[in-house]
Structure 1
Amino acid sequence: MDTADQLASVGTFQVLKLPLGFIRVLEWLFAIFAFATCGGYSGQLRVSVDCMEKASSNLSIAIDFAYPFRLYQVSFEAPACEAMRRERVFLLGDYSSSAEFFVTIAVFAFLYSLMATVVYIFFQTKYRENNKGPLIDFVVTVVFSFMWLVSSSAWAKALSEVKLATEPDEVQLLISACKLQTNKCGSVHGARWSGLNTSVAFGFLNFVLWAGNIWFVFKETGWHKGGSKFAGGASEKQAGTFNQQPYNQGSFEQSESYSSQGTLGQVSEYSQVGGPTSYSNQM
């Protein structure tokens, strides 16, 4: 039984127990996790600058950054170690395009999964009418599968660069006072990356879900049903050809019987002709 027939036979909310509806719910849920862990991230690192003049030192400089990771806009004040003077230092890098692309795909995937689930539950007849619904669903599923793979790969690469740009040892190189050997700079603590690492994992998990769901959506389309009918018609044609074989065998047996009778008749006639010849020779 195809999924379309199953949708017609089950109850309204029983659709969610079928693979097509159940996977859509998982896609909706994991899309939330993807954009929440990335879009809601904020991190902090701390460095220390110990000047030769202790009065100018700052042993805990907090540097905050967050989504969408336009690090060139993130600044902090660091001591210049010269007569209490301070300087404003900016981080390097702009990784907003990859982060925003990832979050955008996650938000649109969330909206489409929610809409598709509502259609499966309350508009089953409209969904299967004229085969338009399954075809649109199939195309959108393929597109989202590809976009999840691209956005997750781009965001994974951008995240590795964000980690490098916010490494406390790299940030110290941006501070003028840390370039002098008379001053001592160090890292208090780095940023925590568990949330962003989870967002990358959810991105690739969403790709697996959407790619796996392509088959179940394809079964709803007329392409799959047309292929099944073609295969069924070919099987019936072969079966019909096979059923004609007994008739052909019967015809062959009749021809064999006829040829056998003809041969026996010739042998009998030959023996009758040869009989008197043998008798005359004996006389």
Structure 2
Amino acid sequence: MDLNLSVFQEPRGVMRILQLMFAISAFATTVNYTGFIDFMCDVPYKFSFEYPFNLLLNQELNLGAKNNCTPRVKISSDFSSDAKFFVASGVIAMLYCLFIMIVYTKFDNKYRTDNRLPVFDFFMTVFIAVLWVSSSASWANALANMKYISHDDYIQWDNLGICTRCPISVSSFSSLNVSVILGFLNFFLWATDLWFLYKETTWFQVGQISTSGEI
């Protein structure tokens, strides 16, 4: 079986390359992120969090030896389900891109002659497009809540007494913002690809024949 690389000069081949690149970028920016909340007390304490973003903190902090202030700071929020859903969508998209690109290059003749393969490709693309839009929406909501719970006004302090809570510094969420944008961009790429794949199916070809016959 000869490799047919000319498919990557066609829209369906080009779209698969773009989808593969953007899928990897989307989940990579999520799993490689490490954030922190820095409590700038007399004895500094840094709370770090990363994928899958199950933020659990129950720590006693020293606000100052002269005041004998040792309150306990608490955070209890779990965003792991949304983060895993988003990353799983990216991994599924990546694996399907690799699989279908092998089909395109090694079995192109069968793809063009077997009506079932284009239909399967079309419906799988619909499925993954739905995965992207739903997981991106869920992850965008989780990220908004993550920013909220890491704000100084939300963090719970126990046993603070007359002491003043120490200032905090929170890491930037810019790379996670990018991951959300990439998620919706992936949905756009997969939804747009449906038109090119539809033209490969018998539905489009029968419609073209019917239109030609009427003329």
SS where residue 92 of structure 1 aligns? strand
**1:76 alignment counterpart:** 59
2:149 matched to 1:165? Answer: yes
Stretches of structure 1 that go unaligned for 5 or more consecutive residues are 1-10, 50-56, 236-283
CA distance in 2, matches of 1:12, 1:100: 36
User: How much has 1:75 moved relative to structure 2?
Assistant: 3.9
Q: What is the deviation of 1:128?
A: 2.3
Which of 26, 39, 45 is residue 37 of structure 2 equivalent to? 45
Cα deviation digits, residues 173-210 of structure 1 (max 9, x gap)? x22254x3x32223342121011001001000000000
The amino acid that maps onto 1:99 is A
Query: What is the number of equivalent residue pairs in this alignment?
Result: 212
Asked if structure 2 preserves the Cα contact closer than 8 Å seen for 1:75 and 1:88, the reply is yes
Show the counterpart of 1:175. Answer: 157
CA offsets 1:207-247 (integer angstroms, 9 cap, x no match): 00000000000000001001111111111xxxxxxxxxxxx
Match 2:106 to one of 122, 127, 131: 122
Aligned partners of 1:126 and 1:77: how far apart in 2? 66
CA distance in 2 between counterparts of 1:124 and 1:42 reads 43
1:125 maps to amino acid? N
Does the 8 Å contact 2:23/2:90 carry over to 1? yes
SS at 1:184's partner residue? coil
- Once residues 183 and 90 of structure 1 are traced to their aligned partners in structure 2, the CA distance between those partners, rounded to angstroms, is 17
In structure 2, the gaps of 5 or more residues are: none
Residue identity in the other structure for 1:210: W
Which protein is richer in helix relative to its size?
A: 1
Whether the aligned pair in 1 keeps the contact of 2:72 and 2:158 (CA below 8 Å) is no
Residue number in structure 1 paired with 2:78: 94
2:209 counterpart of 1:229: yes
**Is the CA contact 2:70–2:159 (under 8 Å) kept in the aligned structure 1?**
no
Tell me how far apart the structure 2 counterparts of residues 224 and 99 of structure 1 sit (CA, whole Å): 38
In structure 1, distance between residues paired with 2:18 and 2:51: 25
Q: Which stretch shows the higher mean deviation, 209-218 or 110-119?
A: 110-119
Q: Which has the larger radius of gyration?
A: 1
Deviation of 1:80 (Å): 7.5
Structure 2 partner of 1:205: 185
Shift of 1:89: 4.0
Identify which of structures 1 and 2 has the higher relative contact order when contacts are C-alpha pairs closer than 8 Å and 6+ apart: 2
Tell me the SS of whatever aligns to 2:60.
strand
Structure 1 contact 47–185 (Cα < 8 Å) conserved: no
After superposition, the CA RMSD in angstroms is 2.1
Quote the residue 1:256 is aligned against: none
Secondary structure of 2:76's match? coil
- Is structure 2 residue 130 aligned with structure 1 residue 146? yes
What CA deviation, in whole Å up to 9, does each residue of 1:53-90 have, x standing for no partner? xxxx43x221111111111x344332387996856544
How big is each residue's C-alpha offset from its partner over 1:77-125, in whole Å with a ceiling of 9 and x where there is no partner?
3238799685654412111111111110110001001111121112101
> Quick one: distance in 1 between partners of 2:112 and 2:166?
65
Distance 2:58 2:159 in 1: 16
Please, what TM-score do these two structures have when normalized by structure 1?
A: 0.69
Match of 1:69, as an amino acid? F
Partner of 2:15: 23
Aligned-pair distance for 1:12?
2.1
- Equivalent-residue separation in structure 1 for 2:143 and 2:168 (angstroms): 22
SS of match in other structure, 1:168: coil
1:159, 1:30 → 2: CA distance?
20
Q: 2:152 & 2:38 partners in 1: Cα distance?
A: 7
